[in-house]
Every structure is written in C-alpha cells, then in structure tokens.
Amino acid sequence: MAKKDYVIRVLNSPMQVNADDWNALLALQSPVDAPSPFMRHEYLTAMLKSGSATPATGWTARFFTLSQGNELVAACVLYLKAHSYGEYVFDHAWANAYHQHGLAYYPKALVAPPFTPVPGPRLLARDAQSRTLLVQALVAWCSDEKLSSLHLLFASDADVAACEDAGLMLRHNVQFHWFNNAPTLVAARTALPPEGAGLAWGGPAQRPPGALQPLLVVFHGLEGSSKSHYSQAFADVASAHGWACCVPHFRGCSGELNHGPRAYHSGDFEEIDWILRRLQAGHNGPLVVVGVSLGGNALMRWAGEIGSGAAQVVRAIASVSSPLDLASSGWAIGRGFNRQVYSRMFLRSMVPKALEKLDQHPGLFNRADMHAVRDIYTFDNIFTAPLHGFKNTDDYYQRASGKPHMQAIAVPALALNTINDPFIPAWSLPKPPDVSPSVTLWQPTQGGHVGFPAGAYPAHVRAMPGAVVEFFAAHL
C-alpha cells in the first residue's frame, strides 16, 4: 500500500461488512451511477441468502474492504466463478483456448453483481486514490491466488479509468436498451364462459363504431400481460398500420384473480376459441392473431384442433418464440442458469397466485407441497396439470404441445423461433415434414426469447412485430 494507515481486508460474507458504511460509499458515487440498487448491501446479501449466488451455484463471494483508520474508504465484491453463466458477457472462447492448451480457466475472478447486466459502480470508493489502491489490491490478490483472470463488468467510467491505469485490458462491446414511450392500449372488460369469471384485456384502442380495419389479437406468454414489452410493441406497430389491437389476458394475468377452480395453460385451445369467436362477433373487420411464447403454443394447438374451421374465424396466425414441444422446453428451463434465474422469476408470481386459488377453493392441492416448489415442472405437477384435466406434468406436456397438431393447420400460419432461444432447444423446433403447407417456418439464428433488438443504440423491439404484421398484411 502507498500509505501504512490503509488496511485491506478480504472477507467471506457481506454480514462481516457494516451495511450502513457500504451503502454510504455507494451513495458517494457519481450521480449517474448512484441510483442503482444492484450494489447495495441488501441486494448482495439477498443474492447469498436466497441461494442464487453461492458456492453451490458457482459463485463464491469475497468482500474487499479498504479502511483508513476506522473509516471505510473503498469496497467491492469479487466472485470466484466456476463457470461463465449469469454474466451477460461471453468469454467462452477464452475458456476454450485455456482448455485446448491444458490450462485451467476456472475459477476466475469477477467483480460485478450476479445476474445483473446493468451499468453502474463496481468499485465503491471515497476518492480516486482509494479506488486506485483497491484495484491494486484486487490484482495482487488474484495473482497470489494464481487465478487465470480478473473481470470487471458493466463498470462506471471512474472504475474503467482506474483499471486502465492499473494495466488491465479494456474490452468494448455493445449493449442494447429499448424504451416504451407511447403505449397505445386501453383497458376493457368482458365476461368469461360460465365456469370462469372476469376476463380483462388491453385494448383494442378506441376506434370508430363499425370500423373495418383489421384487428390484431396478441395472446401473451407465461405470466405476461398487456404491459409486456412485446404487447406494447405489437400495439405500436398495429397503430402505425391503422389497425386495432387487442391483448386478452389469460385467467389471473390481468391483476385480478379469476373465481373458478382453474387458471390457464399452454394448450388451452378451448379458451383461445372462445375469445376469438367473441372478438369476431364484436368486430367488423378481419382478425389476425399472434401468440407469444405460451400464447403461441396455445394458438397453434387451436389452429391444429379446429383445422379448416379456423379460416371462418381468422385470416392468419403466427407464433413467436413459442415452446411448441413442451417437454423439450420444460427440460431447458429446468436446467442451469435458466433454473436459477428464469424459473425463479416465473414462480415468484405463479406460486402466490396458486395459493390464492387454494384460498378460494380449499383442498385443491396440498399447501405444503406448493410452498416447497422450486421448479416449473413440479409446479405443473401440483397445480397446472391436475387443475386442467391432465394426469401429471408429462401428460400435460404431451397433450398440450402444439407441434404434433401443426400438420392439420389449414390457415396461413407463421412459426417464428430463433436458434439461440435459451428456453427452446433448437433440435426440438418443427421441421417442414412436421407442418402443413399452410405453415411458414422462420428460424433465424439470433433473437433470443422474444428479444429481436434492432437498430442503432439504444435499439428497439419493433422489428419482430413489424415482420409479423407484414406477414399478416400479405394475407388480408
């Protein structure tokens, strides 16, 4: 150290660092970075206590503190990583190069909050000198531990400058941001079939009575709604074309729990049929329908089930990022990073809603079993499958999948899936022999799961809805 009164400590737990002192350092960072919550002591502690970032999941934390006397003047969290997941910056080529030369790439050192690709401060420091001393301590510690590399991700300008001064290599990349500034959906309500209660939807946007323009119907994905980014993007594109747009909410997804002893599921083609026929009865123009993720599978399941009768209701349909083979997608979302992040994200809303349903209908399932749910497969086995007439999860996945029914589709249909969708294995996607001549398969290599960013920074997500709407326009 440059001065003898500086002391560096390497601690194993956030509980060994005073939370107020840590957060006070965070508050000193530049005004642009300071509002970020992802370096707060509470957030990092929650990542550990929730089991999200622990040695068992490949994240072993070390908390570095730099003190001068009794004052904490700099601090950061460093993770010893046993893999490269949850970082959103891919270094697999480096790891492979190490492996090919007989070298160990893991564990490596990472300075960044887990699963959080949000730019912000990573080195919390009172001043530039403290930040520089902290970087020097990190480099020296990694060298002593004989680690392959030290990575600092999505850092602030001050952090980047300190790392460059310390001789670290700077890697540039592009991060896409998109914004929704003008939602075009308004709220409306109607009633469900007799066994249900209360279906709300977003839109259609107000239109003159008797209008003949097309109505774009958007069925949302798992736990989605009219507020989902893709719903807003489709509504925006529809409005630009002079079309009306409607986003029906599946039961329980409008913000209000339905009353009946059921919810919604991936193969709910009867619900799709009822909604579309009701919309058709209230609209004078043609209907075109897109389903996103879960909604797309249910839509394709409907089109295959109804066959030539679909043309009496709609002009064309499309599915986007839809798990048309539910067993394969269930396998994918139950593994590795998907299980740790996305499964937990979905279950955070699915489990409480299921417990509310149990309060409505005591005895529907075992409460203790639901509290123990840690993955979607188990949730479906306890809740989704038995509530909707399936024997178990495997029976549900087999009977509800849209792919086996796509040879019977008799209306113009587009099935859009990307090869790099983390939820849908590429080998499970339908191929030409699996579908009827009415179905167009579009399987680009990039786009992720309902992502498809396009344009210059900060980018936008209207390219995919625009392409789907153009497909529909060709069939009006």
293 is catalytic: yes
Say whether 187-325+401-473 and 6-165 share the same fold. no
- The Cα 46–Cα 58 span in angstroms is 16
Active-site entry in 36, 130, 225, 293: 293
- Say which CATH class 187-325+401-473 falls into: alpha beta
For residue 208, with 0-12 CB atoms within 10 Å meaning exposed, 13-18 middle and 19 or more buried, which class applies? exposed
Q: Where are the beta strands (DSSP E) in 46-148?
A: 59-68, 71-81, 108-111, 124-125
Q: Is the pLDDT of residue 224 over 60?
A: yes
pLDDT of residue 88: 87
- Say which CATH class 6-165 falls into: alpha beta
**Residue in 72, 95, 79 with CA at minimum distance from that of residue 148:** 95
pLDDT digits (tens, 9 = 90+) for 150-187: 999 999 999 999 999 999 999 887 776 666 555 555 55
Domain ranges (residues) in the chain: 6-165, 187-325+401-473
CB 263 within 8 A of CB 251: yes
Confidence of residue 134 (pLDDT cuts 50, 70, 90): very high
**Residue in 64, 63, 57 with CA at minimum distance from that of residue 82:** 57
Report CA torsion sign: 385, 302, 234, 442. Answer: positive
CB 291 within 8 A of CB 322: yes
CB 275 within 8 A of CB 196: no
Q: Is the pLDDT of residue 441 over 70?
A: yes
Confidence of residue 192 (pLDDT cuts 50, 70, 90): low
pTM higher than 0.85: no
- The Cα 301–Cα 309 span in angstroms is 13
* Residue whose entry in the numeric block shows the structure tokens 């839809």: 322
Proportion of the chain in helix, strand, coil states, percent, rounded to 5: 40, 15, 45
pLDDT digits (tens, 9 = 90+) for 41-99: 999 999 999 999 999 999 999 999 999 989 999 999 999 999 998 988 888 889 989 99
The token pair at 414 is: 């587009």
- The Cα 59–Cα 53 span in angstroms is 5
pLDDT of residue 178: 63
421 is catalytic: yes
Active-site entry in 343, 421, 428, 460: 421
**Residue in 279, 337, 346 with CA at minimum distance from that of residue 313:** 279
pLDDT digits (tens, 9 = 90+) for 397-421: 999 999 999 999 999 999 999 999 9
